[in-house]
């Protein structure tokens, strides 16, 4: 699939000799993509898949009974839909159990707090922790404290996440979740409390992994619902000494076996061994039923692939759906998939991931070789009628595709409207009623359009320069890391 230098030179001259608007996508491929796009807009399969996954399997965090049920569900579902080469790929995953939690302000004004343990948190001692609260508003304020300030106390990092269409506020908020407790523990804190890394104003706390690069946590960490963080903050701001009592039975257990679930719409002819990768993750956090994160993604990519599978002609390249294990708590499925691929990564001509709910897609971005940008324009022409802008060629592709992108696989990204995503994400509120069927279908339409074209044209998208940077740490120098 990597063209040899002579082919590249020939292609260059071919492109140079036709007009600047040379058409790479043949008319019949465009017509096929347009028909599938329009079919997707009025289809019901994505919603049905999502209902089945959320209502029948429900919560499915790594290593849980729900995780195993989800794998079984996905295999049966893929076979039932007629996908080929349906198989699993074993993945070892961490197994963290939430257990119970209680959090109370004991002074100056006793009140209960709605809280949840963060993924990876150890339990409190059996009798709980009761200590004074020290409130800061940022990671830098926390880092500026010493053990004189924090030893024997509870650190409360009270950062209010900003709402944004692109969900940008999550970056700073989740960094506090995955780095704050290390800094607090170094300074002798007994536990960390954070304000939920979410925008919900409801009494539903936001969970998520507290680990950075899988480094274990020394002290328990919990998140408060926003209203409860307001309450704690109010009491701290009275100037009186505020004490909190925490009790958690969270625990880290031995690793468990889980699996990536894979199914294909096989290609035909000379390009059949090349792969258009459609990815989403099968696991979810345990508080909700994993509708927006990432049941929607599972539904979107599966429905898109199913539409191609049902198309009159088989695609030239193989459409491969991978439902990754454990995205949420370590990206193990993606890492395992990439590791198993070895040099087969070069057969992956493009990757598309869906993992940001089902808000309407408003932007189509790419990260492809420069000489493939004309194709992006041609795909975009078919996406514009469903309300999608043209983005830049700097797409990240998403978390589960990152190991493959770093190894050189080009990616597309569909940016969804995330204005309300963080009202539900990682909370008990992540349930199917938060999904709009028309928006979900518009997502399927976008994915099927791009995937169908990528699978049926002669040209590919080149390769990306491998990304060999070290992993992002919790150092302040890495606070503004771009993925």
Closest by alpha carbon to 100, among 230, 220, 228, 243?
220
Distance from C-alpha of 249 to C-alpha of 436, rounded to nearest angstrom: 36
Using an 8 Å Cβ cutoff, are 357 and 431 in contact? no
Which CB sits closer to a copy of itself, 240 or 377? 240
CB of 292 to a copy of itself, least distance (A): 12
Q: What share of the chain is helix, strand, coil (3-state, %, to 5)?
A: 40, 25, 40
Question: Which window, 157-165, 197-205, 404-412, 463-471, contacts a copy of itself (CB under 8 A)?
Answer: 197-205
Residue 49 CB, shortest distance to a copy of itself, in Å, is 14
Nearer to a copy of itself, 51 or 341 (CB): 51
8 A C-beta contact, residue 376 and residue 393:
yes
Site for a copy of itself in 345-374 (CB under 8 A): none
Asked if 104 is part of the footprint of a copy of itself (rule: CB under 8 A), the reply reads: no
- Site membership for a copy of itself, residue 58 (CB under 8 A): yes
201 interacts with a copy of itself by CB under 8 A: yes
- Contact flag: residue 111 with a copy of itself (CB under 8 A): yes
Q: Residue 356 Cβ, how far from a copy of itself at the closest point, in Å?
A: 20
- Please select the residue that binds a copy of itself; options are 9, 10, 55, 144, rule is CB under 8 A: 55
Nearest to 258 by CA among 5, 425, 443, 67: 67
Q: Locate 286 and state its tokens.
A: 């345990």
Phi/psi at 416 (nearest 5 deg)?
Answer: -95, 160
CA–CA distance, 152 with 190 (Å, rounded to integer): 6
CB of 204 to a copy of itself, least distance (A): 6
Nearer to a copy of itself, 114 or 407 (CB): 114
- Rounded to the nearest whole angstrom, what is the least distance from the CB of residue 230 to a copy of itself in the complex? 6
- Site size for a copy of itself, by CB under 8 A? 30
**Binding status of residue 235 toward a copy of itself by CB under 8 A:** yes
Of 34, 165, 203, 472, which lies in the binding site for a copy of itself, with binding defined by CB under 8 A?
203
Taking the C-alpha atoms of 465, 468, 474 and 476 in order, what is their torsion angle to the nearest 10 degrees? -60
Contact 148, 192 (CB under 8 A): no
* 230 is a site residue for a copy of itself (CB under 8 A): yes
**Binding flag, residue 429, a copy of itself (CB under 8 A):** yes
Q: Is 357 left (phi over 0), alpha (psi -120 to 50) or beta?
A: left
Least Å distance between CB 102 and a copy of itself?
Answer: 11
Interface region with a copy of itself, contact rule CB under 8 A, candidates 28-36, 184-192, 195-203, 387-395: 195-203
* Residue from 15, 24, 68, 227 binding a copy of itself (CB under 8 A): 227
- Which contiguous run of DSSP H or E holds residue 277? strand 275-281
Q: Which is nearer to a copy of itself, 114 or 276 (CB)?
A: 114
* Backbone φ, ψ for residue 353 (5° rounding): -120, 150
Range in contact with a copy of itself (rule: CB under 8 A) among 227-235, 245-253, 355-363, 375-383: 227-235
* Candidate list 117, 192, 199, 226; residue touching a copy of itself; CB under 8 A: 226
DSSP codes joined into one string, 359-409: PPEEEEEEE--GGGHHHHHHHHHHHGGGT-EE--S-----TTTHHHHHTT-
Q: Which is nearer to a copy of itself, 111 or 483 (CB)?
A: 111
Contact track, a copy of itself, 288-307, x by CB under 8 A: xx------------------
Stretch that binds a copy of itself, among 196-204, 349-357, 384-392, 393-401 (CB under 8 A): 196-204
CA-angle at 280, arms to 275 and 281, nearest 5°: 130
Q: Are strands 389-390 and 361-367 parallel, antiparallel or unpaired?
A: parallel
Residue from the set 260, 284, 336, 427 that interacts with a copy of itself by CB under 8 A: 427
Binder among 57, 189, 194, 321 for a copy of itself (CB under 8 A)? 57
* CA 368 – CA 462 distance, rounded (Å): 6
State whether residue 137 is helix, strand or coil.
coil
**Nearer CB in complex with a copy of itself: 135/434:** 434
For the chain, the C-alpha Rg in angstroms (whole number) is 24
Residue 114 in the binding site for a copy of itself (CB under 8 A): yes
Phi (first) and psi of residue 360, to 5 degrees: -55, 135
Note the helical H segments in 82-195.
139-143, 147-150, 169-186
Separation of CA 149 from chain center: 36
Which one of 151-159, 341-349, 425-433, 440-448 is the stretch in contact with a copy of itself (CB under 8 A)? 425-433
> In this chain, which stretch among 191-199, 344-352, 422-430, 467-475 interacts with a copy of itself, using CB under 8 A?
422-430
CA separation for the pair 412, 65 (Å, rounded): 33
Under a CB-based contact definition with an 8 Å cutoff, are residues 401 and 301 in contact? Answer: no
> Residue numbers of the site for a copy of itself (CB under 8 A)?
51, 55-59, 109, 111-112, 114, 200-204, 226-227, 230-231, 234-235, 288-289, 427-429, 431-434
């Amino acid at each position: 699939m990597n063209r040899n230098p002579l082919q590249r030179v020939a292609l260059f001259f071919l492109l140079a000799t036709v007009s600047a608007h040379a058409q790479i996508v043949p008319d019949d491929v465009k017509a096929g993509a347009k028909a599938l796009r329009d079919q997707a807009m009025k289809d019901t399969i994505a919603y049905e898949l999502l209902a089945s996954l959320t209502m029948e399997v429900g919560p499915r965090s790594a290593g849980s009974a729900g995780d195993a049920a989800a794998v079984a569900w996905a295999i049966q579902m893929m076979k039932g839909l007629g996908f080929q080469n349906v198989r699993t790929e074993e993945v070892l995953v961490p197994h963290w159990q939430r257990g119970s939690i209680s959090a109370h302000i004991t002074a100056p004004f006793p009140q209960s707090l709605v809280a949840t343990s963060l993924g990876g948190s150890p339990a409190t001692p059996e009798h709980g922790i009761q200590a004074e609260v020290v409130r800061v508003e940022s990671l830098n304020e926390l880092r500026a404290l010493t053990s004189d300030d924090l030893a024997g106390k509870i650190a409360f990092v009270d950062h209010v996440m900003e709402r944004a269409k692109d969900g940008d506020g999550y970056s700073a908020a989740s960094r506090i979740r995955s780095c704050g407790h290390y800094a607090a523990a170094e300074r002798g804190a007994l536990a960390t409390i954070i304000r939920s890394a979410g925008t919900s104003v409801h009494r539903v706390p936001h969970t998520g992994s507290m680990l950075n690069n899988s480094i274990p946590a020394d002290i328990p960490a919990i998140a408060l619902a926003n209203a409860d963080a307001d309450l704690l903050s109010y009491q701290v701001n009275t100037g009186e000494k505020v004490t909190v009592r925490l009790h958690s039975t969270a625990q880290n257990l031995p690793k468990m076996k889980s699996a990536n679930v894979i199914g294909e719409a096989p290609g035909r002819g000379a390009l059949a061994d090349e792969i258009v990768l459609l990815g989403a993750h099968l696991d979810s956090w345990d508080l909700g039923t994993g509708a927006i994160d990432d049941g929607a993604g599972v539904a979107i990519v599966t429905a898109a692939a199913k539409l191609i599978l049902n198309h009159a002609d088989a695609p030239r390249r193989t459409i491969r759906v991978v439902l990754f294990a454990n995205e949420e708590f370590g990206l193990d499925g993606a890492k395992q998939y990439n590791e198993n691929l070895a040099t087969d990564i070069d057969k992956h001509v493009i990757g598309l991931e869906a993992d940001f709910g089902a808000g309407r897609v408003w932007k189509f971005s790419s990260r492809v070789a420069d000489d493939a940008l004309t194709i992006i324009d041609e795909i975009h022409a078919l996406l514009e009628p469903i309300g999608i802008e043209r983005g830049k060629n700097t797409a990240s592709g998403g978390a589960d595709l990152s190991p493959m992108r770093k190894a050189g696989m080009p990616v597309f990204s569909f940016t969804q409207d995330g204005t309300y995503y963080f009202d539900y994400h990682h909370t008990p509120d992540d349930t199917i009623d938060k999904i709009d069927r028309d928006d979900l279908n518009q997502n399927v339409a976008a994915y099927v359009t791009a995937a169908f074209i990528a699978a049926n044209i002669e040209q590919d998208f080149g390769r990306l320069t491998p990304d060999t940077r070290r992993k992002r740490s919790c150092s302040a120098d890495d606070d503004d890391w771009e993925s």
